[in-house]
Amino acid sequence: MTDTSNLETALVLFSGGQDSATCLAWALDRYARVETVGFEYGQRHGVEMQARLDVRGSMAAQFPHWGERLGEDYVIDLAGYGAIAESALTADRAIEMQENGLPSTFVPGRNLVFLTVASALAYRRGHDVMVGGMCETDFSGYPDCRRETIDAMQSALSLGLDRKIALETPLMFIDKSETWALAHKLGGAELVELIRHDTHTCYTGDRSTLHAWGHGCGVCPACELRARGWEGWTQAA
């Protein structure tokens, strides 16, 4: 990971899920000023957008020293991209494994698009660091979540913007139980409870039931992964 201890500000790619909320806390712990960016690309569920606001609000209220550091939030409309990238996340298709071994929730090139668009915002806002929750440890094997891909993007963006941009991925090599452990390390039981309650990960947008691990349908791949991670963490803790 790049040493960014002397850099002051960061832009966090923030979806309102467990991973990006943990990344937001990580950034607030580390940088003097933090801004967030989210993307609307035809997600089926406004719950994700609501979760973003809830998490930001709760973090600022419950951790005042973070609240002082938390700056603007930006939501960028990528509906045109969403129309191209149509998949189980963005259209009414079943969540299943495809012949190429990727789940139908794979949105082609999503992180490449997000990072490129976010870099324009980072450039305008004077951020040299962007933080994202990409992770190559867990089930999905999304090729645009691999650190090798992120390294290539970091080079491409730095060249194309003629300015050194660091892409920080604090979750890249840890699993979901270690992500809970990281949240606990950053903000104790209070942050764990905030993330459990306020974040949204479930593919179906179900928030009717609060499980031990958070809200969700309990059966989709995202819920299964989140539940397994919670179990692993609570058993280890």
Q: What residues make contact with Zn ion under the rule CB under 5 A?
A: 202, 204, 216-217, 220, 223
- What is the closest distance, in whole angstroms, from the C-beta atom of residue 228 to Zn ion in the complex? 13
Residue 17 CA to residue 6 CA, distance in Å, equals 28
| C-alpha closest to that of 192 among 72, 2, 21, 15 | 21
Running DSSP on this structure, what letter comes out for residue 143?
A: G
- 67 vs 205 by CB, closer to Zn ion: 205
- What is the closest distance, in whole angstroms, from the C-beta atom of residue 224 to Zn ion in the complex? 8
Enumerate the β-bridge partners of residue 211: 214
- What is the closest distance, in whole angstroms, from the C-beta atom of residue 190 to Zn ion in the complex? 25
- What is the closest distance, in whole angstroms, from the C-beta atom of residue 44 to Zn ion in the complex? 12
Enumerate the β-bridge partners of residue 34: 10, 70
- 156 vs 217 by CB, closer to Zn ion: 217
- 117 vs 217 by CB, closer to Zn ion: 217
- 105 vs 154 by CB, closer to Zn ion: 105
CA distances from 68 to 26, 58, 62 (A): 15, 13, 11
